[in-house]
Structure 1
Amino acid sequence: MEGHMPVGGQAGGLLLRRVIRGQRGRVVSASALGMTHQACEASVPVVIGAAIDSAVATGSAQSLLRWLVVLGVLFLVLSTCYRTSARIAEGAGEHAAHLLRLELGARVLDPRGGADANRLPGALTSIATNDASRVGAVAEVLPYGSAAIAALVVSAVALFGISVPLGLLVLLGIPPLLWLGHRISRPLERRSEAEQESAAYASGVAADLVSGLRVLKGMGAESAAVARYRTTSQDSLAAALRAARSRAGHEGALLGLTGVFIALIGIAGAYLAMDGSISVGDLVAAVGLAQFLLGPFQLLAWADPAVAQARATARRRAQG
């Protein structure tokens, strides 16, 4: 079986790239809007810190009003970009899944045969629903992942502006964190592939049982058929539970690592403020950015396993 994995993996990767290319316009526009949204979000604590130093500390009402206007514009832009980006990204995922279903239908109806070879009808139903949705979801997830990475970059640049040590802490800490998150997703990818295969087989057995119910009754074999389906269904449930536990473990581990990383940024910022290296406004901005970083990391914690599941499903489809 391992000898076939590279071929399936390459074909699965080609399928994912084809899905993304097919929704290129939507993915690019949603990514650009999402990155703008995240850049504006990252700018909010920086603007608040600047307002504290230049307006609150000096007691200037005019300066405070100007910074409030800047904040209002920021929130208007980030809100508009987020809503538009989310709508386009959702459309990209749905369109991609729909095209995959049409492709499967064309292969099933092809007189020369195709996707229905050696498959039960229920298995085809599972592929046309669950599998297509998971593979198509990569076109929806990609803009969110791009926006999260943009947020991390903007936050690192902002922290560099506040303090070089803080910027270096983020810049040097993010790559290992992302690498660890990717490594943690490997078990989820394997278990997701097994889950989808088991679910498709269970659907096929159920459809086969229903279509042959009259024959089974005539033969008096209902109990044997029900026992077979019960075993298959339990196997499918066990695979789904293993995948769910793996996903929960992945998200929990990544968020735990993220919490430690954010706490380190906050501690470093507080130390620099006490040392007089940064101002009170800079400390507020640094702590705000540290708290903001939780959002992009949560996005990555959601996007990475979703891509892993899409990759596993695409590889299974390619092998089938």
Structure 2
Amino acid sequence: FGIVWMVAQALMPAFIGRAIDEGVAANDTGRLTFWAMMLLAAGVIQAVTGIFRHRFSVSLWLNAAYRTVQLVNRKASQLGATLPKRVATGEVVSVGANDVAHIGNSVDALGRAAGAVVSFLVVAAIMLWTSRPLGLIVLIGVPVLLIAIGPLLKPLQQRNLAAREMQGELNNLASDIVGGLRVLRGIGGEEVFHQRYVVESQRVRAAGVRVARLQSVLDAFQILLPGIFVVFVVWLGARFAAEGDISPGELVAFYGYAAFLMLPLRTATEFANKLIRARVAAGRVIAVLRLEPEITDPATPVAAPRGNTLVDSQSGFVAREGSITALVCDEPADSAAIADRLGRFVPGDVELDGVPLADMSVDTVRRRVMVSDTASTLFSGTLRDELDMTDSGDTAVLTRAIHTASAQDALEALPDGIDARVEERGRSFSGGQRQRLVLARALVANPEVLILVEPTSAVDAHTEARIAERLRDHRAGRTTVVVTGSPLLLDRVDIVAFVASGRVVAEGSHRELLATVPAYRRTVTRGEEDES
């Protein structure tokens, strides 16, 4: 449609010239009517194809942009825990907010660029047929103009790339500031990070100005060079008409061609400009798509076993089937490492009922073993959909999970209760409310093996005691691991495993370990007894 739309516009000067020569000059009403109808037909065709061209251009823009979003989202889901280790949050934001738009813009301009090329060839052919010198000037002159603009394109691409890198870094900084705002307020670091953000944003602004400065020169050349060329073609055509080499109608047509050539020239340079931005954006998207997950499916996955006893050979930790096992480590890094291995987010020698997790498909492991850690967050949407990720529609299950997580206060504060909409990342909730809702979501999923990492670190002691008491009943008969240092939780689990220097050195009840293992006592009481 872009080609037909522009060719129809290119033929109009030829029809006008014929109408003047064969109709007006020859005083032939019939030929004048004929070419007037041809001109009307060309206008109708241009109008109709223009509508469809615009619709298809918008459709192509949306397809290109949002299919890119789908590809990135699919890759993000495939990468899982690998993504935040390889790509900063701000970079992903830049890909989704800016890069997809540049890719869509290039596809949008593609149809008009194709029409510009074809219409240029059509006009050049008509001009060659009418006047070989003028036709050759157009046929050679237009590519020369594009080549003259070419030296500006490479520096523009380099400046766009530099600005894009800085924008990604700025988004990273903004994400860090927003994510740690509560902590910054607590330590009085808001002003420090504010000044840092001001400095970085000014760097991005300066990079944008450099891009705009070169872009303005390119835009000026897009108008100046074609304008000079059009003036030259019109002047030359007037000379030929004065010498009798071309007719008055052909002179009018040449003027129309010269004016029309401004459009394909501008379209070609616009497409080149958008293509440069799209190449930079596509490079960032491809960088994400090229990433490979740390954990992949084995060549021949085995079936999942029936039992749910989880064993980490590296640390000696065992989560027995049907029990709530607490994991306490003298080093927080060991707790995170063991939880990651148990959930198969990093390679490790972990078995589920005697079958290595590495021999099972990632999908099988994710369905059997769920890890809910402190990085878990809430998404936008209704709270019901947020908690019921399996879309079971069972309100009783939701109510029971919310009760166990002691999150009724979060629902009571919402005007529509469980059907209220949740803001992005659950910003409308307090830190404790978000943590309890995340816990409720994990309980609704009801996996056969559930690993909870510090599930009550942001709640008060009374709420924590209620959760600890209710969790045992809720997870009865299921394998549960609680990574925590909270005495309230530890006192209500079936067994506690204490890890020192990366290995399990003691197992027993919380009270037994307090009495017999000094290192455990120091870990869970934070050295209070020693100070006293």
- 1:156–1:171: 8 Å Cα contact kept in structure 2? yes
Aligned residues: 288
More strand by percentage:
2
What whole-Å deviation, never above 9, does each CA across 1:243-288 have from its counterpart, x for those lacking one? 1222221121132111111111111101100111011011111111
- 1:104–1:115: 8 Å Cα contact kept in structure 2? no
Give secondary structure in 1 for the equivalent of 2:87: coil
More off after superposition, 138-147 vs 176-185? 176-185
What whole-Å deviation, never above 9, does each CA across 1:195-250 have from its counterpart, x for those lacking one? 22212221221121011011111111111110111111111111122212222211
Q: Distance in 2 between matches of 1:91 and 1:48?
A: 34
C-alpha spacing 1:113/1:246, structure 2 compared with 1 (3 Å): farther
- 2:19–2:32: 8 Å Cα contact kept in structure 1? yes
Give secondary structure in 2 for the equivalent of 1:105: helix
C-alpha spacing 1:88/1:276, structure 2 compared with 1 (3 Å): same
What is aligned with 1:318?
Answer: 286
1:45 equivalent in alignment to 2:45: no
C-alpha spacing 1:266/1:114, structure 2 compared with 1 (3 Å): farther
> Partner amino acid for 1:301?
T
Cα deviation, residue 111, structure 1? 4.9
What is aligned with 2:221?
Answer: 253
- 1:107–1:113: 8 Å Cα contact kept in structure 2? no
Cα deviation, residue 175, structure 1? 1.9
C-alpha spacing 1:232/1:56, structure 2 compared with 1 (3 Å): same
1:140 equivalent in alignment to 2:108: yes
Alignment of 1:88-237 (within 5 A): 88-111=56-79, 113-237=81-205
- 1:116–1:124: 8 Å Cα contact kept in structure 2? no
Q: Distance in 1 between matches of 2:16 and 2:79?
A: 66
- 1:94–1:137: 8 Å Cα contact kept in structure 2? no
Question: What is the TM-score normalised by the length of structure 2?
Answer: 0.52
C-alpha spacing 1:250/1:117, structure 2 compared with 1 (3 Å): farther
1:274 equivalent in alignment to 2:250: no
What whole-Å deviation, never above 9, does each CA across 1:19-45 have from its counterpart, x for those lacking one? xxxxxxxxxxxxxx1111111111101
What whole-Å deviation, never above 9, does each CA across 1:162-212 have from its counterpart, x for those lacking one? 101100111111222222233321111111111222122212211210110
| RMSD of Structure 2 on Structure 1 (CA) | 1.6
Q: Distance in 2 between matches of 1:102 and 1:317?
A: 12
Cα deviation, residue 319, structure 1? 4.4
Q: Distance in 1 between matches of 2:191 and 2:219?
A: 42
Q: 2:43 aligns with which of 57, 75, 88?
A: 75
Question: What is the TM-score normalised by the length of structure 1?
Answer: 0.85
Give secondary structure in 2 for the equivalent of 1:59: coil
Mark the structure with the bigger radius of gyration. 2
Q: Distance in 2 between matches of 1:148 and 1:116?
A: 44
- Unaligned runs of 5+ residues in structure 2 are 289-532
- Unaligned runs of 5+ residues in structure 1 are 1-32
C-alpha spacing 1:142/1:114, structure 2 compared with 1 (3 Å): farther
- 1:259–1:294: 8 Å Cα contact kept in structure 2? yes
> Partner amino acid for 1:188?
L
C-alpha spacing 1:64/1:111, structure 2 compared with 1 (3 Å): closer
Give secondary structure in 1 for the equivalent of 2:228: helix
More off after superposition, 61-70 vs 113-122? 113-122
Q: Distance in 2 between matches of 1:293 and 1:148?
A: 9
> Partner amino acid for 1:303?
F
C-alpha spacing 1:319/1:122, structure 2 compared with 1 (3 Å): closer
